[in-house]
Structure 1
Amino acid sequence: MTTTASSEFDTDTAVTASGDGHYATTVSDRWAIRDGVANGGYLLALCVRALGEQLAMPDPLVVSAHFLRPGTPGPAEIATEVVKQGRRTATGSARLSQQDGAVVLAQATYADLDGVSAPAAGNGPVAPHDSVAPHESVAFNNAAPALADPETCTDPLTLSEQPGATVAARVDYRLDRVPGFWYGTPSGEPVSEFWLRFADGHDADTTALAMLVDAAAPVVLDLGVGGSSTIELTVHLRARPAPGWLACRAFTRHLSGGYHEEDFEIWDSAGVLVAQSRQLALVR
C-alpha cells in the first residue's frame, strides 16, 4: 500500500499553540470506540503530539497516561510542562481537558531514535507461512509473530459490525487465527496475533504507535466479559517503524477483582520490535 500525501491521523491529532505551553485541539469523532466516546490511545496521541512540540527531541521513548473520564468529540485544551531537558532525553507532562474537566494525565520521556533499526539478537523478520503453531506455544514468545500473508488473513469487520466504533474504519486489521469472541463464542484463551495498519495507507511513526497499541479489540473479550475500559496505559517505543503492515501480539494473563492487564507488542515489516505496552483496565 502506498502512503497517502495526507493522513487522517495527522489531521486529527493536530494541535495549535496558544501560549505558555498550552495547545488547542479538537477531539475528532473519527476515532471513537462507541458513540460519543473517543479511543484512549487516540487521546494519548493528542498529548504526545503536544509534548512533541515542547520537547527538543523527535521521538517519544516512554509514555504513561491515566484516563480520568471519557473523551468526547469537540474542543479540548492540552496544558504541557517541560520537566527536564537533557542531552539525550527530555521529559514532560501533559493534561488534556475538556469542558467537564481533566480527561487524560500523561507523562513522557522523549529521545532521538534515529538509526535504531537493526533487530536485537534473536529477533528475526516477520515470516509469513501457511500454518501457525498452537497459540499456547507462542503466547509469550519473544520473537515476532509468525503470521500468514495479510491478504490471506481474515478481516474481522466482515464477521461482526461495530456500530459507533469509527476507529475501526481508520485502521485495517487482518487476523491469522480468529479469536472466538468474534463469533460470539469466547474461547477462554485471551491471546491474539494479527496484522494492523492505517486504512488510509499512512505508515505509522512513533506518535502513531502510541495510539495503535490501543486500537484493537481487547483480548480479554475471549474470557466472556462484556467490555473493557482503560485506566492506565504505558507505552515503550523501541524504534521508528519501517513502512508496511505491523505484526501485533496482544495477551492478558490475569483477570482479578474486576480488573485485567493487557500486554501489546508491535513488530514492523522488517521484524523489528517497535513498541510494547501494558495497560490496566476495568472490565464491564
Structure 2
Amino acid sequence: MNIKNEVSARAKHPAPGRVDLQKFRTSDGPTYRGPFQETEPFLRWIHGVQIFFETKSVNNAADTIKILGNLVVETNLQSFYANEASGFLTKSWEEFKTQMFDFALPNNWRSGLQCQIRKLDMSPSKTFLEYSTRARTLQSLFNFDAEKFSKLGDLQLAQFAVYGLPDALQDRINERQLLEASPFAYGQFENKANASFLALHRSPELPPRAKSTPNAPPTLGRDEFIWQVHAFLDSQGLCHFCKKHCGNAAGACPGPIDRSHINIPNNFQTTTKPLDYVAPTCVE
C-alpha cells in the first residue's frame, strides 16, 4: 500500500473513543419537540437521549454534543443549541447538560415535581397499579441527576402514595402494616397493596338490600360503608380482618380473612370517623 492509500485508509477510521459522525444514524434517537419549559417531557427526552448514547457507545463529550443537535426540533432549544453548543465542544457533557437544564427547565422544577408527588390522588377510574406507576414515574423524574442524599426514597414515595388513596384502601394498608416493613421494598409494598385493592374491588360495595321502601335508609358510598362496618366491629371488640375476638393488634391478625356479610342493626349509630383514627386491638 502506498503512502497516499495508507493516509486515505486511516482517514476513514475515527480516532479511538470517537464515532464516525458522517455515518452515525440519529434517525432512531429520541427527538425533543417540546413544549418548551415543560418539566416532564424534557426529562423524559434527556433520559432517553442518555440511554441512546449508552447503547450506541457514544462516550466522547464533543461527539455527544454534536449528535444532540440532530435530536432537537423545538424552536427555543434549537436556538440555544445554535448559540451555545460550539463553546462546549472542549468541555464535558455534564457542563453542557447543566447549561441546557438551566435554559430548558423552569426554575425550581424539582420542587414542582415534589408538589405533584405530595398531591397524588387516586381517581375512581384508575387501578392501583396505574396509580402506583404514575407515582414511580414522578419519583424517577424527581431523582434524575439528584445528589444521593436529596433523592426521594421508596418509603417516602409509598407514604405520599398512601395519602392519596381511598379511605377503604388506606385502612387495609394500615391494618396490614405495609409501611412498617423493614427493610422496606417498594415492589413488595406495591404487590401487597394491589392485592388489597383487588380484594376490595371484588367485594360488594354494599350488603344485599331489600327492595326500596319509603322508609329505607339512604345508600352509602363505598368509603362511608367501609367506615360503618369498621365502627360496628370496633363497638363489638371484633377484629376487622377475621371478624372474631382474636386479641390481635390491628394489622397483626394472621387470619384467615372473613369476607362474610356483617349484619349491622338498623339502630346502630355510626360516629364520624376521626382524622387520627387507628383501629384498636380487639378483645379476646
The structure that is strand-richer by fraction is: 1
**Higher Rg of the two aligned structures:** 2
Larger RCO (CA within 8 A; separation ≥ 6):
1
Higher helix share: 2
TM-score normalized with structure 2 length? 0.20
TM-score by length of 1: 0.20
